[in-house]
């Protein structure tokens, strides 16, 4: 008698949706209990959005951003319908209507997961749209929103003929886009409405130092201003934008990086509870039975994540719930860590940073070196790191990130801790105890490679940083984790016998499975 397989329909072929499919298959490797279908409007299989700024800068090709090699999904019995959209959902009947190039078909599902992500927010500024501003209106020629791999292609193509560019938004994506355009020889001006860039991740002192760094690498930075008009080239007048103080800036290309909005249109049409995002509980369940949401479209405990890691953590929990691997699994939230992935700018911000140095409930250490583009601020509570800003202090970033991720007690020598080389009273270097670090600790955040994945690669024969990179793609993003990977390899070499390569090794857990095969 054939056992009924439950059908999980995942709407969204982005990073969260792809990770959920992978997590389910990790728990049901032979596809005996669950059929999984992933539907996404983008015509590409899942790719790593973290690496898009590197594509703009010319460091890698769009193909290099793939999470999996060709054929990986089919080999694991995961149906991926790229270039398709879910036109309608009948939640009571558990049916969905799919639209692929105008052809509709109806599929049934047992569990529906919305991983629809978010879309670029483009302000209704005159001249940014090809017509009246609205979600269905295309952007004007010479205007690109920076969000997808196709956007990267449009930016790169425009940069070939553009001599000037204005980036709207001095947040994470805006600065990454600006650095990529500078690498292509384009004159770049970043316009940001606040007093300093990345104002959501930095305090005023750190923002002031970052402003100097951004200007130091060749970008112009206009703060406290908004673009109110954009004009294309006409009647001999070059393309330009106009600021709210009347200033005009040359702009052959305008890149919009003014934020994102959760994509909730399908959820609203289905009748789910929606606030800023699709409201979910600790089990990632929506207001309707058997309908779930994860990633940037989901609102959990009032928060809507704008980063990759929360979506992947949610995918792991939901896979446990759906498959019964851990029926009581709950999502408690994800520690926030933001990295600016741009050459010449080494910046990490994590946790609670808006704390005054004299706050009686915290221990706050700060170091400022504006002329050299360095700023560090550590926020500790009960000898544990609860927040940090690290700009231009790469030697400390790896150790401090692991202390923050693991919640470990920090070394006693606070000053040396800020320099990345805390010293014990015995004179030995005191750092994160690699032996006690959990296997799930993320070493490479660009590619979400865990300690356990690196240990597995090492034991399979990857004895050097380069070999680990080839096996797991750790260090191939922004590169800031090279020190941590090198330290982990050194610890493994000193604590284990030399690894012996084998012809067949078990597939790693999903925390790195997306990154250990077919590196492009």
pLDDT digits over 33-51, tens only? 999 999 999 999 899 888 8
Separation of alpha carbons 338 and 236, rounded Å: 43
Model pLDDT, residue 479: 66
Separation of alpha carbons 255 and 128, rounded Å: 10
> What does the mean pLDDT of the chain come to?
88
User: Is 182 a residue whose pLDDT tops 60?
Assistant: yes
Model pLDDT, residue 513: 35
User: Is 399 a residue whose pLDDT tops 80?
Assistant: no
**Which of 88-92, 117-121, 199-203, 395-399 is least confident?**
395-399
Q: Over pLDDT 90: what percentage of the chain?
A: 67
User: Is 422 a residue whose pLDDT tops 60?
Assistant: no
**Domains delineated in the chain:** 6-48+59-119+261-323 (3.50.50.60), 143-258 (3.50.50.60), 352-418 (3.30.390), 442-513 (1.10.10.1100)
**Which of 53-67, 306-320, 334-348, 477-491 is least confident?**
477-491
Model pLDDT, residue 436: 63
Model pLDDT, residue 477: 63
Query: Which is more confident, 478 or 366?
Result: 366
Q: Which two tokens stand for residue 479?
A: 């590169």
Average confidence (pLDDT) over 335-364:
89
User: Is 270 a residue whose pLDDT tops 50?
Assistant: yes
Model pLDDT, residue 244: 97
Model pLDDT, residue 435: 62
Average confidence (pLDDT) over 285-303:
97
Model pLDDT, residue 421: 59
Model pLDDT, residue 252: 97
User: Is 161 a residue whose pLDDT tops 50?
Assistant: yes
- Band of pLDDT at residue 420, cut at 50, 70 and 90: low
Average confidence (pLDDT) over 345-365:
93
Query: Which is more confident, 285 or 393?
Result: 285
Q: pLDDT digit string (tens) for 460-505?
A: 999 899 899 888 878 876 666 777 788 888 888 887 655 444 444 4
Average confidence (pLDDT) over 435-456:
79
Angle, CA 375 vertex, CA 207 and CA 224 arms, to 5°: 10
Model pLDDT, residue 95: 97
Angle, CA 312 vertex, CA 310 and CA 315 arms, to 5°: 110
User: Is 221 a residue whose pLDDT tops 60?
Assistant: yes
Decide if 3 contacts 35 (C-beta within 8 A). no
Helix (H) or strand (E) holding 35: strand 34-40
Query: Which is more confident, 394 or 284?
Result: 284
Could you give the residue ranges of the DSSP H alpha helices within 217-358?
Answer: 265-270, 308-323
Global pTM reads 0.86
CB neighbourhood size of 256 (10 A): 26
Model pLDDT, residue 504: 40
Report the interhelical angle of 482-495 vs 465-472 (nearest 10°): 110
Q: Are strands 240-243 and 248-250 parallel, antiparallel or unpaired?
A: antiparallel
Model pLDDT, residue 450: 85
Model pLDDT, residue 496: 65
Model pLDDT, residue 520: 31
Q: Which two tokens stand for residue 333?
A: 């939230």
Report helix, strand and coil shares of the chain as percent, to nearest 5.
30, 30, 45
Average confidence (pLDDT) over 188-198:
97
Q: pLDDT digit string (tens) for 117-139?
A: 999 999 999 999 999 998 889 99
């Amino acid at each position: 008698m054939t056992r009924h397989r439950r059908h999980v329909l995942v709407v969204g072929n982005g990073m969260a949706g792809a990770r959920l499919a992978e997590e389910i298959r990790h728990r049901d490797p032979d596809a005996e209990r669950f059929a999984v279908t992933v539907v996404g409007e983008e015509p590409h299989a899942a790719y790593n959005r973290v690496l898009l700024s590197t594509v703009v800068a010319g460091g890698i090709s769009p193909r290099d951003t793939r999470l999996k090699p060709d054929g990986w999904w089919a080999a694991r019995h995961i149906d991926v319908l790229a270039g398709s959209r879910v036109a309608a959902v009948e939640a009571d009947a558990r049916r969905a209507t799919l639209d692929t190039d105008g052809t509709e078909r109806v599929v049934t599902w047992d569990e529906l997961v919305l991983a629809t992500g978010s879309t670029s927010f483009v302000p209704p500024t005159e001249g940014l749209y090809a017509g009246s501003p609205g979600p269905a209106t295309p952007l004007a020629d010479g205007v690109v929103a920076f969000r997808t791999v196709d956007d990267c292609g449009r930016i790169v193509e425009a940069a070939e003929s553009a001599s000037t560019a204005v980036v709207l938004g001095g947040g994470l994506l805006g600065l990454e886009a600006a650095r990529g355009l500078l690498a292509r020889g384009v004159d770049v001006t970043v316009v940001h409405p606040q007093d300093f860039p990345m104002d959501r991740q930095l305090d005023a002192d750190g923002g002031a130092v970052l402003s100097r760094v951004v200007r130091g690498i060749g970008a112009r930075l206009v703060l406290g201003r908004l673009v109110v008009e954009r004009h294309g080239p006409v009647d001999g007048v070059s393309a330009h934008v106009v600021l709210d103080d009347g200033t005009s800036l040359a702009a052959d290309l305008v890149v919009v990086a003014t934020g994102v909005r959760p994509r909730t249109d399908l959820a609203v049409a289905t009748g789910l509870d929606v606030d800023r995002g699709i409201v979910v509980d600790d089990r990632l369940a929506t207001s309707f039975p058997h309908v779930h949401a994860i990633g940037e479209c989901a609102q959990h405990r009032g928060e809507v994540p704008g980063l990759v890691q929360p979506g992947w953590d949610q995918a792991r929990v939901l896979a446990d719930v759906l498959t019964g691997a851990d029926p009581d699994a709950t999502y408690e939230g994800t520690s926030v860590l933001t990295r600016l992935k741009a050459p010449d700018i080494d910046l990490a911000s994590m946790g609670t940073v808006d704390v005054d140095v004299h706050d009686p409930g915290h221990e706050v250490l700060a170091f400022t070196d504006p002329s050299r583009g360095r700023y560090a601020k550590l926020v500790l509570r009960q000898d544990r790191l609860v927040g940090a800003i690290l700009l231009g202090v790469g030697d400390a970033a790896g150790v401090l990130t692991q202390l923050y991720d693991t919640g470990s007690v920090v070394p006693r020598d606070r000053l040396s801790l800020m320099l990345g080389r805390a010293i014990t009273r015995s004179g030995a270097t005191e750092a994160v105890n690699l032996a006690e670090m959990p296997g799930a600790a993320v070493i490479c955040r660009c590619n979400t490679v865990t300690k356990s994945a690196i240990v597995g690669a090492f034991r399979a024969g990857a004895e050097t940083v380069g070999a680990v990179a080839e096996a797991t793609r750790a260090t191939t993003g922004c590169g800031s984790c090279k020190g941590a990977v090198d330290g982990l390899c050194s610890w493994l070499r000193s604590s284990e016998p030399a690894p012996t390569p084998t012809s067949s090794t078990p597939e790693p857990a999903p925390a790195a499975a997306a990154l250990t095969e077919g590196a492009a």
